[in-house]
Amino acid sequence: MRLSRAAEYAVRCMLYLSTAGKGVLVGRRTIAREMDIPEQFLGKIAQQLARAGLIEIIQGVKGGFRLVVPPDELTLLMVIEAVIGEIFLNDCMLWPESCGRSPVCKVHVVWENARNQLRETLRKATFSSLITESPVLSPDAHSSLSLLNP
Amino acid sequence: MRLSRAAEYAVRCMLYLSTAGKGVLVGRRTIAREMDIPEQFLGKIAQQLARAGLIEIIQGVKGGFRLVVPPDELTLLMVIEAVIGEIFLNDCMLWPESCGRSPVCKVHVVWENARNQLRETLRKATFSSLITESPVLSPDAHSSLSLLNP
DNA sequence: GATAAATCAGACATTTTTTATCCTATTTAT
DNA sequence: ATAAATAGGATAAAAAATGTCTGATTTATC
């Protein structure tokens, strides 16, 4: 019932890119170092974010990632579902036909409500709201100052 | 991000016991058969439900399970957390000290809200409300009639 | 054009979690 | 005593998650 680490990494990455600003190119290594993400793993996650149209990946020397969606249109839900797929809280909701109890059973109604609530909460959380007046980096990430105070 | 099958089984088991009524003894094999749960696995799950004080396990010939809590006081939250532990949606909320971003970062506020909402929704869902006017058994479970129409 | 720095993409490895099952012991009605 | 039922620890099997390795590709720069 927990968020995967990959999704948590994705959020961290997008927080960093949001702080940098839409369209600003940041190297993969930089993000990995600043946000405590295994660099190769970040590569995999970035592919998913790119496929979802949230970032653009630039190859070659001076390559890296850049935010495509403006932070005030980017939501936690978009980032998380880009990585873990559409959120479902239980199986029978995902494959109602395999359960046989779905349309009639009130349990599924509860779960459906819970799911909708959760997704709505995550949809309301834009990255611009998440980075305002709130440090995104851990206290010991000194070098981040180069980004925040250019 | 999905509910474990064990928790789903637990819910099914409690739905059956709730239909039977508080204090009514039902054999493990019966529940397993009627609710499509592997019998040995159900045994394991029942131990957790018993430890949480939700059911009582009777050994010996004519043994089985019986509901301790009345269905109108029994909630989805109680059953699910008895099996999977207290619900947390992400790690940093569970071990804030390991993250270093917890108290300041707004992401965690969002997740905390989401968590509270989810738990509240599940807390409001009592088993008495879940079994009223709603068939709990799959259509092909003929033998269930012996329980429902004694 | 050659080189070096960067990412891509698929395969592979490792670890953790989940989902059971096996087997012996224990309990209890008859 | 016996037989039917569950307990509980050990173990197995499967699935998912978390990375890592390696060769290919892209691109700025010399």
- Every domain of chain B and the residues it spans: 5-148
B interface with A, Cβ–Cβ < 8 A, is 1-5, 8, 11, 15, 76, 84, 87-92, 100-101, 104-107, 110, 113-114, 117-118, 121-122, 125, 129-132, 134-136, 138-139
Residues of A whose CB is below 8 A from B113: 121
Q: Please give the pLDDT value at position A108.
A: 85
pLDDT, tens only, B128-148: 999 885 555 554 443 443 333
Question: Could you tell me the two tokens for A88?
Answer: 């479902």
- Give the whole-angstrom CA distance, residue A8 versus residue B107: 10
A34 touches A19 (CB < 8 A): no
Element (H, E) at B135: none
CATH topology classification for A5-85+127-143: Arc Repressor Mutant, subunit A (1.10.10)
Q: Of the candidates A105, A107, A121, which has its C-beta nearest B113's C-beta?
A: A121
Among A94, A74, A97, A73, residue whose Cα is nearest residue A85: A94
Q: How far is B89 from chain A (nearest CA, A)?
A: 5
How many Cα atoms occupy the beta-carbon half-sphere of A129 within 13 Å? 13
Q: Please give the pLDDT value at position B148.
A: 38
Burial class (CB in 10 A: 0-12, 13-18, 19+), B17: buried
The spacing between the Cα labelled CA in A49 and the C1' in C14, in angstroms, equals 25
Higher pLDDT, A93 or B26: B26
Residues of B whose CB is below 8 A from A106: 129-132, 134
- Measured at the CA of A137, the angle between CA A132 and CA A140, to 5 degrees, comes to 140
Element (H, E) at A93: helix A91-94
pLDDT, tens only, A64-78: 999 999 999 999 999
Q: Of the candidates A107, A121, A135, which has its C-beta nearest B11's C-beta?
A: A107
Residue ranges of chain A with pLDDT lower than 70?
93-104, 133-150
* B106: confidence class by pLDDT, cuts 50, 70, 90: confident
A34 touches A139 (CB < 8 A): no
Contact A1 B4 (CB under 8 A): yes
Please identify, in words, the CATH class of the domain defined by B5-148.
mainly alpha
Residues 6 or more apart whose Cβ sits within 8 Å of residue B4? A1, B83, B84
